[in-house]
Amino acid sequence: MRKIVGVAAATAAALGAGLWVASAPRPMDSATLDALQGDAMRGQAVYLAAGCSSCHAGPARDADPLILSGGREFASDFGTFIAPNISTDPIYGIGGWTQAQFINAVMRGVSPDGAHYYPAFPYTSYIRAEPQDMADLFAYMQTLPADATPSQPQDLAFPFNIRRAVGLWKALYLHEDWVITGDLTEEETRGRYLAEGLAHCAECHTPRNALGALDHGRWFLGAPNPSGTGRIPAIAGPDFDWTAFDISAYLETGLTPAFDVVGGSMAPVVRSLQQLEKSELDAIAAYILRAGQ
């Protein structure tokens, strides 16, 4: 009997140790990331493509979307996520972070003190970014204002409030592979980088499984609105018949081919993307049509 208990205890301990190891944060090498030279001018375009303001802009977002004091709430099946302060404030924001800490936060979802972020922060897309772009983004964000609003704790139900478990989720779902593969034109390839990476289109336009991971088999086919009523529309599949001109014009002006005007959570996305070069919007459009084939 004592032997059985001993084996059970040892098995449980081994399982626990295994889960602990499997759920460990896996940041990239700090020295390599810190060695990158960021360019703030280039970083502005990265910032606009990545849509940081869309979630992190504070209550004064209409007047100044560059005050990244956070506070915006995102209801979900797992609880309510609250965007943190990512302004340059050294205490309440990320003003005290190193470049490597920043890049590991954005591309691996790992905080400076080694905790997992929840994947409401779309590092599942940002993992496909070029570290150099992230260094440029970091340089640009140093130029934005500081704001001393404290970040609010995430309001999640058990068991989703166990951060360490996010490590197991990452082991299953955090991959840097491209979703759409095969022969792509140069423009489609650029569009894929923007859409699957920085602009993280799929985070809203692709449905998720029960664990909240994107269903790559239903890429861009639309999904329930995670934070309200209605649906996030499909941008692929039989019900989506926009041309490349239509998509690019929508991202530039917020006008659909039927001249409805963008609203909801897509409105700030358009406000950011419309500041990019038109060729970048054309590239996203080319990729979206390629992805829908």
Partner 1 sequence: MKFRSFVCIIALGTTIALPTFAQDNPAIGQRQGQFKLFVHNFGLLGGMAQGRIDYDADMAQLAADNLFYLTRHDQSRLWPEGTDSASVSGTRANPAIWENLDDFVAKFGALQTAAEGLQQVAGGGLDAMRAGFGPVGQSCQACHEAYRDEAS
Which residues here bind partner 1, judged by CB under 8 A? Answer: 62, 225, 228-233, 249, 253-255, 258-264, 267-268, 270
Place of tokens 């996030």: 232
Nearer to partner 1, 96 or 224 (CB): 224
The answer to whether the beta carbons of residues 123 and 26 sit under 8 Å apart is: no
The answer to whether the beta carbons of residues 81 and 118 sit under 8 Å apart is: yes
Among 152, 170, 79, CA closest to 116: 170
Nearest distance from residue 7's CB to partner 1, in Å?
A: 54
Nearest distance from residue 229's CB to partner 1, in Å?
A: 5
Nearest distance from residue 119's CB to partner 1, in Å?
A: 21
Type of residue numbered 17: A
Nearest distance from residue 217's CB to partner 1, in Å?
A: 23
Nearest distance from residue 259's CB to partner 1, in Å?
A: 3
Nearer to partner 1, 141 or 249 (CB): 249
Q: Where are the beta strands (DSSP E) in 4-130?
A: 73-76, 79-82
Nearer to partner 1, 232 or 289 (CB): 232
Nearer to partner 1, 111 or 265 (CB): 265
DSSP H/E element including 11: helix 2-22
Q: Is 171 left (phi over 0), alpha (psi -120 to 50) or beta?
A: alpha
Percent helix / strand / coil, the chain, rounded to 5: 45, 5, 50
Nearer to partner 1, 98 or 243 (CB): 243
Nearer to partner 1, 183 or 277 (CB): 277
Overall size of the chain counted in residues: 293
Nearest distance from residue 149's CB to partner 1, in Å?
A: 21
Nearer to partner 1, 89 or 203 (CB): 203
Nearer to partner 1, 40 or 255 (CB): 255
The answer to whether the beta carbons of residues 127 and 108 sit under 8 Å apart is: yes
Both tokens assigned to 231: 């649906």
Nearest distance from residue 76's CB to partner 1, in Å?
A: 15
> Is residue 286 helix, strand or coil?
helix
Nearest distance from residue 224's CB to partner 1, in Å?
A: 9
Both tokens assigned to 246: 């239509």
Q: What is the DSSP letter of 240?
A: -
The answer to whether the beta carbons of residues 247 and 284 sit under 8 Å apart is: yes
Among 115, 106, 162, 109, CA closest to 135: 106
